[in-house]
A = this chain, B = another copy of it.
Amino acid sequence: MDPARVVELPGLPRRVTVYEVGPRDGLQNESAVVPVEIKAGFVRRLVAAGLSTVELTSFVPPSWIPQLADASGLMDLLRDDLAKAGGRYPVLVPNARGLDRALEAGATEIAVFASATETFARRNLNRTVAASLEMFRPVVAGAGVPVRGYVSMCFGDPWEGAVPVGQVVGVAVALAEMGCAEISLGDTIGVATPGQVVELLAALDARGLPASRLAVHFHDTYGQALANTLVALQHGVTTVDASAGGLGGCPYAGSATGNLATEDLVWQLHGLGIETGVDLRLLVETSVWMAGHLGRPSPSRTVQAMNS
């Protein structure tokens, strides 16, 4: 089947940067520990499929996330290929020690991961929101490479419920002021609907953070990710996070995290005539290949449809 006709919609960008989080956010949330050679192959295939921005791994202490304990080894395997390919290949760092390890391994862009809620900050970073921002400050200042700041739990929190907009704005503005070039707004539990997205973007704009400095990071836990993406694009956002094959949580598992699948995103963007540089068929092949290594089918609707 040929894809349906391309029809543009007024008010949308001509090009969107797909920020691929599968190797880091995806594999970090899979129970299986994937061998480092497979990870390197995964990244190479993603790059070959046209993804020019791929978050590679996380330099957290290996005891925290055993799935990503091979961060330095992965960078070694990929360094030459990625330098040749060009593009952005950020790595997550939780603190100053992580930054040192990341830079040592040759990272050219980093990301820090903040929380909009106290409960998740305590559970994920073992400190208050304020203390976590203080922990990030020297990391961002001393990075010497571009830094992306994540804000998680922007719309709802499993322990605190609905999250006040002001709380999210406070964390996002703090990250921007300490030097983060890009702020990614995460709907970590996937509860947001389009009105909330527009409300948050407007509140950030009013505080001096325009959509051009923002990325959106939606989860498909309740099937809302693409509608939320659409309104974000209508309001000026041009960077969208997604995970190849929807990696990062099987929909049939209790722990489903439901990352937006890159393929579902690309189907929408290409249908709207928005350039991404991605070859959708190569990307689907990559996700099917990765699903084989994980031993379960991809939860992405588009992967299922194009692979059936």
Q: Check B1–A220 contact: CB distance below 8 A.
A: no
Which A29-84 residues sit within 8 Å CB-CB of chain B?
none
Using an 8 Å CB-CB cutoff, how does the interface string of A235-258 with B read, 1 for contact, 0 for none? 000000000000000011110101
Closest chain B residue to A261 by CB distance?
A: B223
Chain B residues whose CB sits within 8 angstroms of the CB of A223 once the complex forms = 220, 223, 226, 261, 264, 267-268, 300-302
Interface pick from A87-95, A108-116, A141-149, A188-196? A188-196
Which of A20-28, A128-136, A156-164 forms part of the interface with chain B?
Answer: A156-164
Residue in B closest to A273 when the chains form the complex, CB atoms: B195
Tell me whether A210 is interfacial, beta carbon within 8 Å.
no
Check if B194 sits within 8 Å of A305, measured CB to CB: no
User: Which residue of B4, B8, B156 is within 8 Å of A191 (Cβ)?
Assistant: B4
Please state if B199 and A268 are interface contacts (CB–CB under 8 Å): no
Query: Shortest distance in angstroms between A253's beta carbon and chain B's nearest beta carbon?
Result: 8
How far apart sit A27 and B146, CA to CA, in the bound complex (Å)?
53
Q: Using a CB-CB cutoff of 8 Å, which residues 250-308 of chain A contact chain B?
A: 251-254, 256, 258, 261, 264, 267-268, 270-273, 297, 300-302, 304-305, 308
Q: A229 contacts the other chain (Cβ, under 8 Å)?
A: yes
The residue of chain B having its C-beta at the shortest distance from the C-beta of A162 within the complex is: B5
Is A206 engaged at the interface, CB distance under 8 Å to the other chain? no
In this assembly, does A2 line the interface, its C-beta being within 8 Å of a C-beta of chain B?
Answer: yes
The distance in angstroms between the C-alpha atoms of A229 and B223, with both chains bound, is 12
Are B196 and A271 interface neighbours, CB within 8 A?
A: yes
Contact of A302 among B162, B222, B231 (CB under 8 A): B222
Q: CA A156 – CA B4 in complex, angstroms?
A: 6
**A301 lies within 8 A of B196 (CB):** no
- Determine the chain B residues whose CB is within 8 A of the CB of A208 once the complex forms: none
Docked pose: A161 CA to B3 CA in angstroms: 7
A162 CB, nearest partner CB in chain B, Å? 4
Interface centre among A156, A256, A270, A305 (most CB of B within 10 A): A305
Query: Footprint of B on A, CB under 8 Å?
Result: 1-9, 155-156, 158, 161-162, 189-196, 198-199, 220-224, 226-227, 229-231, 251-254, 256, 258, 261, 264, 267-268, 270-273, 297, 300-302, 304-305, 308
What are 29 A-B contacts with C-beta separation under 8 Å? A1-B161, A1-B189, A2-B162, A4-B155, A4-B156, A5-B156, A7-B196, A7-B198, A8-B195, A190-B301, A193-B267, A193-B271, A194-B271, A194-B272, A221-B301, A221-B305, A222-B302, A222-B305, A223-B223, A223-B301, A223-B302, A224-B268, A224-B271, A226-B227, A227-B230, A252-B304, A253-B308, A256-B304, A256-B308
Known: A223-B264, A256-B304. 5 other contacts (CB 8 A): A2-B162, A5-B156, A190-B301, A195-B272, A227-B268
